[in-house]
Structure 1
């Protein structure tokens, strides 16, 4: 009999809880209702009408609101990027009213997510009611327009595990008492305007797994006790103004897989690993763009989980340690822009997963180790501007089956470009052989490299005409042949895109050559995507055609120091994206077209030393340029030159 009574009581309890749950869904706690209603009143614009649907007393059923099943209290306000209109107009409200009043009523909140609301503005007030949120685990306000400093009271969120305040305009220093948030696991303040030092108390956050402070204005040294964050998996302090040395304690971060300290002002040597197995989980390391000195540590090869690392643009010297051959998981290595010398170690051949190797602008000597032929997955190789003295392109290099981007500028490669030297199994996408000692003509077979996007053969001794096959390079986006001895017509180059509606050429530099004709083809084809053209310092004759107005995307045009002898086409007005226009030292005649006043983006103009005449059209942008932009045209008058007399 007793057991039946107990069973009945248990059933009754369950039914009571279910009924309680149902009643809470119908009517929420009075304080929560007041808090949410207050938040709603603070919204100035909500053209989507979604918040307008927050009506009645059943706030637990409102969009973005979650309640506890048994207490009925609101535990989540979850509106990430939620309140926007159909035309993209954002919610507009002030954060200060919500945090200083509404939040004091919503005392059971565990999650606040108001991220990505570009209309959420204002400052977090010093009197913020964070002490009313004893259960808050997650605070996400990223991607808004919040300003001002973080108040010290934020350190009272004792249960906080995640805080995302990135991509706002917060300023001032990072509060020292963030170190009180002992349960914090994720702290992301990146892309704000925080300044001052990283607080030393940050090392108190023993549970911290992610620390992202990049893209701020932080200064002074990285806290020496950073190694106390033994749970840390991701550390990003990049793009600040941090100074001093990298603390040696950083090597004790046993769980860390990502360290980004790049783009700071760090000095000194890279800390040596003291014990085998230290930082065994490190996969991604960036120390580039600092002022680091000394050698790459021999112990670098102990970081066997490393997949990508960059030490570029420092002042490192010495040789590449042979221990890098132990980094068998490595896919990308950046050592460019240092003072590294000696030869590339043959052990590099063990990096069978290597996709990208950049060691340009160093003092590395030749010869290249033949073992590099084993790097069959290598896609990008940049050896430019070292002391390699290659003489020729190594046969094994061009036979690498995956190689698509080759940069060998300034490697003292001599002689002609032969088919054997570029007969790669996979189509090249980018090729840079600039600043070498190449001679001879550009071969007809160059048109067979149909996957080529970028070709740079500038600063060599190449001569002759551009082969007609160059029009086959339908993917070409960048062509740089400046400072050679090419001659003949420009026609073939302008026809690269005129034959194909999907042409992609955006950059063209043929300056400092001996071209004489073909200017009439400019703009005659598709060519709408081209943004930069430099044909200066040639011998080009002829008239500038009206078709030049079709280049509506062109930002920079330099035709200076040629023999062009036409009037300036009125169609120039259609090239409305122009920012730089250089036509000096030609034989242009006639008046400056009124349409030049339509070139509102023009920042640099030079029409000097021609035969232009008449009154300079009055208005912006022409009145913004100095006399030097128009000098040397004897028949020209008007502002900024002397007034016209007739």
Structure 2
């Protein structure tokens, strides 16, 4: 008692000389000191080194700590990513536990320990009672577990709650509806389940609501439209069902709305009249079960920039009012049941850079007004009822077009030469599933920026031109199901960008011996040469394809033994060598193919005992049938 009296006396004297604030900044409140020290002791690793400097009693001087100038109590803990002397923003990595002792800091207004990628534990159950002044609770990108405490609803001053990218689970507590001052609520990328509590619609100051990437079910709250200040709404990647509430049209401030990848049903209920959702610029409704027609009033969404309705069950014609969306840059309508013709008004979308209409029932002809899409970069009209017969020349004259997909559009004849002289270099070209005939043109080698070429499912009947080796950036080559012949050598000699090759179902005779015959590194992950006429020996150089995940050489005339080098393809998960003439024993090294999920060595001339052990013993007998000299599990025991 005497010591306390003496301290008060000294403080009073100092106050008279204006030095109280100095003392308050130097002496940490005991509860604050205990809470901060306990938090520090629970951290086993901190790559920023900031917590190492937390020493002594002057906690208000510690990095990341702010105090009230009058009371001296800790009001803020800010430990987000930090900036180096070079100006680079780095992520602080912490490993350890979230200490319940943080609740001793009763004056705390901001708790920001987000982006640590390693802070474990659970949110203290007493947080609501212990931190009554908290305005921001930011704990995102950690490994926190357990539920959100019900007491969190007592943080009446809370304006921002950011718990996203953790491992939190359970239901979203209804008590959140009591946080009347809340402006930002981020709970996405966790393991929350159950329904979205109706109390969320009482948060009338909410500006951002993000619950995506959880397992939330039930319906979207019917009164979601009461959130008049809401600008961003993201409920995507959940298990939500039912209809989209009609009240959603009342969100007068909304600019971003993501409801995609759920199980939403029924029609799109907005906009029902002009003037609704005047600021909506980004709308994603894809990958649901929406039905009915696209509302003809969509043209009233005058601020729309990106619109995604793909992979639903929408039907009817594309509304001509789309032409009124003058700010639209991306339009995704593929994977529906849309019919009729493309409206001429589409040509008015001068800012459009992306248009995907594939996998619908749209009929031809293409309106010539589409030639006015002077900024279009990607055009996908594949698998409709267009019956183009030929590619309109104006398509190749679009100044910025680089990705063209016209698969299944009933194009006939030769590949048109004007595709070699487009104003913008073609990067992806898909003319598959058409009626193309004749040769693969030599001018294909001039498409120097080409990354993906798909000419599969046509009637091309030439050899692969030597000029294809000029395509240095080619990553995907799909020529399957044609009448191509000759050698595959040029393809197998190509550069390191190739990751996907499908030459199956053709009449190729030779070139298998050139596999990996160059000095370059190879990143091929998928190689399908099945159903050809290839013969000879599979070389050991196949082992250079270290990234190979799927290898299919079935239904050819390959002979000699299976190369030991296949055992070095440690990423392989599919190996199909059936219906060839391979001889000898299965190499013991095949037991090293730990990732192998699919194996077929049937109908060859293999002999001897199948190497004992996984994964070979796990495959069914059908993987080895038709080899009269083979024995051992899963076939009959060897004699």
TM over 0.5: yes
Q: Following the alignment from structure 1 to structure 2, what is the Cα–Cα distance between the partners of residues 42 and 540?
A: 64
| Partner in structure 1 of residue 27 of structure 2 | 27
User: Of 501, 513, 526, which residue of structure 2 is paired with 1:508?
Assistant: 501
Structure 1 counterpart SS, 2:410: coil
Q: CA deviation at 1:316?
A: 0.7
The yes-or-no answer on 1:551 pairing with 2:529 is: no
Unaligned runs of 5+ in 1: 1-11, 83-87, 498-502
Unaligned runs of 5+ in 2: 1-11, 83-90
Q: Normalising by the residue count of structure 1, what TM-score does the alignment of the two structures yield?
A: 0.93
Deviations 1:475-511 (A, max 9, x none): 10000000100011111111222xxxxx300000000
User: Of 563, 570, 580, which residue of structure 2 is paired with 1:569?
Assistant: 563
Deviations 1:187-219 (A, max 9, x none): 000011111111111111111000001111111
The yes-or-no answer on 1:612 pairing with 2:599 is: no
| Partner in structure 1 of residue 78 of structure 2 | 78
Q: CA deviation at 1:118?
A: 3.1
| Partner in structure 2 of residue 62 of structure 1 | 62
Q: 1:14 to 1:384 in 2, by over 3 A?
A: farther
Answer yes or no: is the 8 Å Cα contact 2:480–2:505 preserved in 1. Answer: yes
| Partner in structure 2 of residue 456 of structure 1 | 454
Moved over 6 A (4+): 12-18
| Partner in structure 2 of residue 6 of structure 1 | none
Structure 2 counterpart SS, 1:641: coil
Deviations 1:600-645 (A, max 9, x none): 2211111111111122222222222222222211222222222333
| Partner in structure 2 of residue 185 of structure 1 | 183
Q: 1:423 to 1:15 in 2, by over 3 A?
A: farther
User: Of 504, 509, 517, which residue of structure 2 is paired with 1:524?
Assistant: 517
| Partner in structure 2 of residue 624 of structure 1 | 618
Q: 1:351 to 1:202 in 2, by over 3 A?
A: same
Q: Following the alignment from structure 2 to structure 1, what is the Cα–Cα distance between the partners of residues 288 and 18?
A: 62
Q: Following the alignment from structure 1 to structure 2, what is the Cα–Cα distance between the partners of residues 398 and 296?
A: 30
Deviations 1:228-255 (A, max 9, x none): 1000000000011111111111111111
Q: Following the alignment from structure 1 to structure 2, what is the Cα–Cα distance between the partners of residues 512 and 267?
A: 41
Worse-superposed segment, 167-176 or 267-276: 267-276
| Partner in structure 2 of residue 157 of structure 1 | 155
Worse-superposed segment, 589-598 or 204-213: 589-598
Q: Following the alignment from structure 2 to structure 1, what is the Cα–Cα distance between the partners of residues 560 and 35?
A: 74
Structure 2 counterpart SS, 1:614: strand
Q: Following the alignment from structure 1 to structure 2, what is the Cα–Cα distance between the partners of residues 362 and 635?
A: 52
Q: Normalising by the residue count of structure 2, what TM-score does the alignment of the two structures yield?
A: 0.94
Worse-superposed segment, 420-429 or 28-37: 420-429
Answer yes or no: is the 8 Å Cα contact 1:517–1:540 preserved in 2. Answer: yes
Q: Following the alignment from structure 1 to structure 2, what is the Cα–Cα distance between the partners of residues 17 and 178?
A: 47
| Partner in structure 2 of residue 106 of structure 1 | 105
Instruction: Give 1:464-479 correspondences, 5 Å limit.
Output: 464-479=462-477
Instruction: Give 1:101-250 correspondences, 5 Å limit.
Output: 101-103=101-103, 105-126=104-125, 128-250=126-248
The yes-or-no answer on 1:409 pairing with 2:407 is: yes
Structure 2 counterpart SS, 1:636: strand
| Partner in structure 2 of residue 8 of structure 1 | none
The yes-or-no answer on 1:427 pairing with 2:425 is: yes
Q: CA deviation at 1:267?
A: 0.9
Q: CA deviation at 1:76?
A: 0.9
Structure 1 counterpart SS, 2:450: coil
Structure 1 counterpart SS, 2:607: strand
RMSD: 2.0
User: Of 245, 253, 256, which residue of structure 2 is paired with 1:255?
Assistant: 253
User: Of 335, 342, 345, which residue of structure 2 is paired with 1:344?
Assistant: 342
Q: 1:367 to 1:608 in 2, by over 3 A?
A: same
Aligned residues: 620
Deviations 1:262-321 (A, max 9, x none): 011111111132442221111100011111111111110011111001011111111111
Q: Following the alignment from structure 2 to structure 1, what is the Cα–Cα distance between the partners of residues 560 and 540?
A: 11
Q: Following the alignment from structure 2 to structure 1, what is the Cα–Cα distance between the partners of residues 321 and 67?
A: 57
| Partner in structure 2 of residue 599 of structure 1 | 593
Answer yes or no: is the 8 Å Cα contact 1:17–1:70 preserved in 2. Answer: no
Q: CA deviation at 1:420?
A: 2.4
Q: 1:360 to 1:47 in 2, by over 3 A?
A: closer
Q: Following the alignment from structure 1 to structure 2, what is the Cα–Cα distance between the partners of residues 16 and 476?
A: 79
Q: 1:430 to 1:141 in 2, by over 3 A?
A: same
Structure 2 counterpart SS, 1:589: strand
The yes-or-no answer on 1:283 pairing with 2:281 is: yes
Answer yes or no: is the 8 Å Cα contact 1:393–1:421 preserved in 2. Answer: no
Deviations 1:458-478 (A, max 9, x none): 111111111100101111000
Deviations 1:154-206 (A, max 9, x none): 00000000000011121121111111100000000001111111111111111
| Partner in structure 2 of residue 539 of structure 1 | 533
Deviations 1:575-615 (A, max 9, x none): 22111111010001112222212222211111111111122
Structure 2 counterpart SS, 1:373: helix
User: Of 363, 366, 373, which residue of structure 2 is paired with 1:365?
Assistant: 363
Q: Following the alignment from structure 2 to structure 1, what is the Cα–Cα distance between the partners of residues 353 and 16?
A: 64
Q: 1:45 to 1:259 in 2, by over 3 A?
A: same
| Partner in structure 2 of residue 500 of structure 1 | none
Structure 1 counterpart SS, 2:218: coil
Answer yes or no: is the 8 Å Cα contact 2:197–2:221 preserved in 1. Answer: yes
Q: CA deviation at 1:102?
A: 3.4
Answer yes or no: is the 8 Å Cα contact 2:382–2:407 preserved in 1. Answer: yes
Q: 1:129 to 1:423 in 2, by over 3 A?
A: closer
